[in-house]
Amino acid sequence: MTSTTTLPKVCPINRSTIRVLVLDDEPFMLRMLDRILKNLGCRSVVTCESGLAALAQLDPPSVRPDLILLDINMPNMDGVEFVRHLVDRHYAGALILVSGEDERVLQSVERLVLAHKITVFGHLSKPVTPERLAVLIDQWSPKPESVPKALKRTYAAHELHAAMVRGQLLNHYQPKVAVLSGEVVGVESLVRWQHPKDGMVFPDQFIGSAEQGGLIDKLTRTVLTHALAQARAWQDAGLSLRVAINLSMENLTSLNFLDYVVNLTTLAGVPPQKIVLEVTESSLMRDQRIPLEILTRLRLHRFCLSIDDFGTGNSSLSQLRDIPFDELKIDQSFVHGAWANDTQRAMFDASLSLAKQLKMESVAEGVEDRADWNFLRASGCDIAQGYFIAKPMPGHAVQNWIADWEKRRPLLIHP
């Protein structure tokens, strides 16, 4: 009954104003895409047979295309190389990738483009259908380019140092819940910088400087001090929460760190079992012996050790072999959307199975929506963390959030 999909007769105004460039080495494809686009209501369509011709269309910047349909297989300049030129020219529009390659190739090119911070509306496998193209195009909106992104800057070590001296760092806490029961089991501390002028500054803007500028120890000590005070306050309020903090491998280069953590925890009156130390490997690490010693001894002191971002280049099997972790956090790139993506799902399943065989607790990060949650419920993973459950929040907001969560919880565990 629904065998023919009819296109909407009235096209969204958007489509007629959007400037589209189509780059494909096959003249036949160009003509076909041009025709489909025109039929969909796009009035401004430019077609180019080569990367060079397309790059010429990016000057002057005032008339740049809003959207480029890019064939990734081209004889001279291939699509990936073309993207590199777009990055050099600070292209701020969007891309749709077109190719006859298999899904995995398309997906990896898509990830590559996203890594360059260029918007990708998705990919089209050949043969292209008007319906699919319409869906992708309609993600476009004529809003001005995201200004906040341009403002996002990184901070030098001396600026961070001043911030720490002035007490401008604080922790936010993101809840972790048990997948089966929905019970709130803990939180992860995520450091924030309340900047007097720039507002809330996120760790990706300053952790790198802290590591390179010799400040990571001071930063971690600050985070741990706040986290322990908060853990103690929750404990006194009768809340049983495990509190996680993120360690950088640079923290694990001196044995003093061990004494510091043990002493501070004892002083706070919080059982070490309630403190989770999340570790990712740093590519800078050469001598593994000291970190291994510190982590093993922390474990002997009954702290929980967690391997963070598992499955990404930084957290590897050899770490898992060498360090007695209690918890494995499956990286969000394998979690969000895994229900719809066979590759991600295979990696998710493999990581989960590894956690189970090693008798570690499994945590899925990046649970962003109901579909992710449903997927997890069926997966056998122990703990979930992500925007679907809660975004990171100030410590004082956690108790109220738990009360709200308790109301939502029955619906999530008995759908």
Euclidean distance between the first and the last CA atom of the chain, given in angstroms as a whole number: 32
Count, residues near Mn ion per rule CB under 5 A = 3
Under a CB-based contact definition with an 8 Å cutoff, are residues 321 and 354 in contact?
A: no
Distances, alpha carbon 398 to alpha carbons 142, 269, 391, in Å: 38, 21, 11
Residue 309 binds which of ligand G, Mn ion, none (CB < 5-8 A, kind-dependent): ligand G
Site for ligand G in 45-84 (CB under 6 A): none
35: which residues sit within 8 A by CB, 6+ positions away? Answer: none
What is the chain's length?
415
Residue nearest to ligand G (CB): 386
User: Interhelix angle for 256-268 vs 216-236, to 10°?
Assistant: 20
Site for Mn ion in 297-316 (CB under 5 A): 308
Mask 169-208, x = binds ligand G (CB under 6 A)? Answer: -----x---------------xx----------xxx--x-
Residue 24 binds which of ligand G, Mn ion, none (CB < 5-8 A, kind-dependent): none
100: which residues sit within 8 A by CB, 6+ positions away? Answer: 73, 125, 126
Q: Considering only residues 365, 373, 402, 405, which one is a binding residue for ligand G as defined by CB under 6 A? A: 365
Using CB under 6 A as the binding rule, whether residue 246 contacts ligand G is answered as yes
Least spacing, CB of residue 164 vs Mn ion, in Å: 20
Q: Which residues are bridge partners to 95 per DSSP?
A: 68, 120
3-state DSSP call for residue 37?
helix
Mask 237-276, x = binds Mn ion (CB under 5 A)? Answer: ---------x------------------------------
Q: Considering only residues 51, 272, 392, 395, which one is a binding residue for ligand G as defined by CB under 6 A? A: 392
Q: How many CA atoms lie within 13 A of 177 on its CB side?
A: 26
Distance CA 48, CA 32 (A): 13
Task: Identify the CA nearest to 389 among candidates 166, 211, 372.
Answer: 372
Using CB under 6 A as the binding rule, whether residue 368 contacts ligand G is answered as yes
Site for ligand G in 326-345 (CB under 6 A): 332
Least spacing, CB of residue 202 vs Mn ion, in Å: 13
Distance CA 323, CA 227 (A): 24
Distance CA 133, CA 141 (A): 15
Residue 327 binds which of Mn ion, ligand G, none (CB < 5-8 A, kind-dependent): none
Q: Considering only residues 248, 306, 315, 362, which one is a binding residue for ligand G as defined by CB under 6 A? A: 248
228: which residues sit within 8 A by CB, 6+ positions away? Answer: 243, 264, 265, 268, 270, 275
Residue (36 or 261) nearer to ligand G, CB? 261
Distance CA 318, CA 108 (A): 25
- Look up residue 135 and give its amino acid: V
Using CB under 5 A as the binding rule, whether residue 278 contacts Mn ion is answered as yes
- Look up residue 304 and give its amino acid: C
Residue 71 binds which of Mn ion, ligand G, none (CB < 5-8 A, kind-dependent): none
Least spacing, CB of residue 370 vs ligand G, in Å: 12
Using CB under 6 A as the binding rule, whether residue 366 contacts ligand G is answered as yes
Using CB under 6 A as the binding rule, whether residue 309 contacts ligand G is answered as yes
Residue (324 or 387) nearer to ligand G, CB? 387
Place of tokens 């959207």: 67
Under a CB-based contact definition with an 8 Å cutoff, are residues 20 and 69 in contact?
A: yes
Least spacing, CB of residue 288 vs Mn ion, in Å: 21
Residue 366 binds which of ligand G, Mn ion, none (CB < 5-8 A, kind-dependent): ligand G
Count, residues near ligand G per rule CB under 6 A = 23
- Look up residue 106 and give its amino acid: L
Least spacing, CB of residue 202 vs ligand G, in Å: 4
Q: Which residues bind Mn ion (CB under 5 A)?
A: 246, 278, 308
By CB under 6 A, name the binding residues for ligand G.
174, 190-191, 202-204, 207, 220, 223, 245-246, 248, 278, 308-309, 332, 365-368, 386-387, 392
